[in-house]
Every structure is written in C-alpha cells, then in structure tokens.
Amino acid sequence: MAYKNVEDLREHRVFYHFLEISKIPRQTFFEKEISDFILNWAKDLGLEVHQDGKWNLLIRKPATAGYEKQKPIVIQAHIDMVCEKRPEVEHDFRKDPIKLVLEGDILSTGNRTTLGADDGIGVAMAMAVLEDKTLKHPPVDVILTTGEEEDMSGALNVDKSWFNTNRLINIDHIVDTEIIAGSCGGIGVDLKFPVEYTKKIDKYKGYKIKITGLRGGHSGEDIHKGRANANVLLANLLNLLREKVNFLISDIKGGNFRLSIPREAYVTLALEEKDLDTLKDVAKHFEYEAKKIYEETAIDLKIEVSPEELAENLLTKNTVDKIIDAIILSPNGVSSMIGSLNVVESSCNLGEVYIKDNYVYLVTEIRATFEKNRDYIYNKIALIGKYLGGEIRGFSAYPSWVYKPHSNLRDIANKVYSNLFGEDIKTLAVHAGLECGCFVDKIQGDMDAISIGPNAWDLHSPDERLSVSSTEKVYKFLTKVLENLD
C-alpha cells in the first residue's frame, strides 16, 4: 500500500504504534517513560503484564482457539535507541520527539537524527500482535528489554522465571530476506592515559582541524563496508604533521559512541603562525588522498582548518605523542572472518577519543563470536597501555549466540517464507550483538531462536532509514509463522 505522508502510515497498526512510541524519548538508560507507556497500554488491553527494576516488560497474551495446547513462543525486542544527530541539529533526546520524514517507501528523519527503528519497529510489531484478536497463535509472551544499545543490561537481568518456553523470535534484524541464527558477543574497552600540561606561550596561535562528512554507521554490521573512522583519520593526519612542524594540543575529541563508527573528530592545535601554511597544505593533501582511498564511502569528507582560541594549559609534547601513537596502534576494523559463512568473526571500533579529568580516553568496542579472539584483541589494547603508561578497563560485556545447524523454529520459518513469497530465505549469523545470547542460560531447555526484521540501513547514524513495504512484508511473515507453529 502506498502512503502519501507520515500520518497516513497510521492506517497500518505497526506504524501506528511506531509513530506513537516515536513521540516518547527512548535514550538508553532513560527508558522509564516509554516502559510505563507500554505498561499502561497493555493493562488497558486487559493483558497480563510485568515490569521489573530495569524497566523490562513481560506481556502475556493467551493462545487463540485451537492453539491452547501448543508450546508458547516469545517475541522479543528492545525499547531503547541509539541517540545520534548531525552537529548542526538541535535535538534533545531526553525531551524531544523524533521527527519523521516519509519519501516514497523510505521512512527517516531527513538525515537529522537517528530514526529509532532500531529497535522501535520491533517493539511496534510486538504491540500489533498483542492487540490483534484476529490472529491465530499459541500463547505469546512479549519481552521488551532496556539498555540494549549500551550494555544489554536489560536482557542480562531478565529473570529466568519469565521464560516458560524454549523458542523465541527476536525482531532486531535489518534484511527481510534473511533469518539470523547466531550473533557475536562483545565488550567495551576504556584505555586512558594521564595527561601532562604546560602553560600556553605567546608565540603559539590556535587552529582547529575538523573532520566531517563521513558516513559512520553501526560498529558491527557496517564494520566491513570500508567506512572511514574519523578518529583514525585524525591521528594519521597528526602523525604526518608532526614530522613537519612542532605543535601542542589544546583539545581533542572524536566520535560520540563506541557502537557507532565515528563520523566527526576535531583537534585544536597550538603552533607558530609561520607554520600555518604547512598545516593547511598537509590537511589539504591528506583530504585529497583520503577521498581517493574512501572514494565510495566518504564522498562528503571535509577537513577544515580554522582559527580557534587556546586553553591556558596545553598538553605537553610527550602527552601529544602518546595520544597519536595510541590511536595509530589501536586495532580498528575487521580482525578475522568466518570463512564458511563469509561473515566477520571479530572486529573492533575505536568509537571515542576525548579528554576528561586530566586523562585522555580511547573507547573501543570489541566484537567476536569466540571469546579467545575477543581476548586476543583486548590483550593488544592492553599492551598499548602497558608500553605507553596507560590503564585499561573492560565493561559492558555480553555473550555471543552460537549458530546451531538444526532448528525446528527455523525450519517452520523457512517453509512459511517460501510459501508466502515464492523463494527461499537465507540463514546466517551476523556480526552484531543480539540479545538472544543473553537468554541462552535463562531459557527452558535448549534455546531455539531466530531473528528477523525489515530492511533498514545506516543504523546508529542520522542516515538511518527504514523501508515501509518491507516492514509490512515482515509483519505478514511474523504473523504467519505464529499461525504455523506446532
């Protein structure tokens, strides 16, 4: 069905719910308002609903006639979202609704902020199932979790008593011709160095180098797509510049979130005015070369040099060299592949660089299917800290969901998809963290799970987009799977 504008989308109940929850802020760790909204909505429907101390929700819908004796099914999604915006956009993710734009089949924010379809559209599908009295299905337990986009603390803290079945459908994938049957684990890593300061002297002038226009994206699902990392580009530029001129650093910052490939970075340098032309020449040449290297993924790359006020205290030459060395030495990008599946097995994303409380921080997300490879990358970062005098801390670890070759739920889904759409659906593992891995030890028996979802692009960035027709397709698929469960 074609829709003329955003409000027309309300004709479809999935989009009705998505538009409603898009009015409510859903920043990770600030999910109480959206959790309470869904809680009260479920109560108004007369459904059994539970809310825990993490604002997770369990909503139970009884089986329809003829399905009472069948084993229940869990539908699961997360209610929080990544909050990224363009630097020039004024948007408060704690207060402001998401402003939606519909262009043909594509729903977005017009490249202003993240859309929140990750995973608001999964939540909306679950809500549509819960309210629809015409559907045929066994007992349905909807589990909506919090904290997914930061540390999966919601899923990790779901009480095992919430599970009375071993089968689960996660709605957090972004390709409608695929079933996901495995995902990687991960861990965040802080590497920090104490900084030393020296007083600003009169001969130094301040100049800001600003890198913008990169595409960014999801630090797992997009890590293999050749997208430039603004932090890495900035360090490489500074490495070239220090061979030609002397400079100190007044301030440095790159990226906003370790789970997003950094789109922007800047540094404020202190150097003599006579070296300004050299700085501009190095920056101009570096931009030219970077555009050649990242021709398809960084067409809007800009490296700008402009005057900037300096702080009274500047980072010493020793600290400056440590920062540049640490970023250059830090692992970033794909580390290893699963050859048989042609899927990334392990990777890391240097998502943030910033100065706080007399320390410089490098924040990385490591992803890996196998713990040994995760530990290998972690140890590489630890060695950087060891030799450069830094400290390392791991945080927000979550487990992988290991692919299993046999699955009754997957077989049913494959058959339903083929009957509906006249083609086979692909089955694969994905290089992203899915909450299914958090449930393996909680669920009753041997977990039988799949992850599905509509076509979406550029998650974790303001370019996030969602296909309307694909959403309709996947919802039809979901409801037919429920109807055909044995």
> Which are the catalytic amino acids?
80, 148
Structural domains of the chain, with CATH: 6-184+401-484 (3.40.630.10), 187-398 (3.30.70.360)
Distance CA(288)–CA(298), nearest Å, equals 11
Distance CA(371)–CA(250), nearest Å, equals 39
Q: What pLDDT is attached to residue 173?
A: 96
Which runs of consecutive H residues, i.e. helices, occur in 173-305?
Answer: 230-241, 276-293
Q: What pLDDT is attached to residue 345?
A: 94
- Nearest to 391, CA basis, from 193, 189, 195: 193
Q: What pLDDT is attached to residue 269?
A: 98
- Which residue type occupies 460? H
Q: What pLDDT is attached to residue 189?
A: 98
Q: Is 339 exposed, middle or buried (0-12, 13-18, 19+ CB in 10 A)?
A: exposed
Helix (H, G, I), strand (E, B) or coil at 259: coil
- Nearest to 158, CA basis, from 26, 57, 33, 43: 57
Distance CA(97)–CA(418), nearest Å, equals 38
Distance CA(395)–CA(400), nearest Å, equals 15
Tokens of 287: 């931009």
pTM, whole model, 2 decimals?
0.85
Q: What pLDDT is attached to residue 283?
A: 98
**Residue-level pLDDT, tens digit, the chain, 486 residues:** 689 999 999 999 999 999 999 999 999 999 999 999 999 999 999 999 999 999 999 999 999 999 999 999 999 999 999 999 998 999 999 999 999 999 999 999 999 999 999 999 999 999 999 999 999 999 999 999 999 999 999 999 999 999 999 999 999 999 999 999 999 999 999 999 999 999 998 899 999 999 999 999 999 989 999 999 999 999 999 999 999 999 999 999 999 999 999 999 999 999 999 999 999 999 999 999 999 999 888 889 999 999 999 999 999 999 999 999 999 999 999 999 987 777 899 999 999 999 999 999 999 999 999 999 999 999 999 999 999 999 999 999 999 998 888 999 999 999 999 999 999 999 988 898 999 999 998 987 899 999 999 999 999 999 999 999 999 999 999 999 999 998
Q: What pLDDT is attached to residue 295?
A: 84
Q: What pLDDT is attached to residue 296?
A: 83
Distance CA(77)–CA(451), nearest Å, equals 10
DSSP at 319:
H
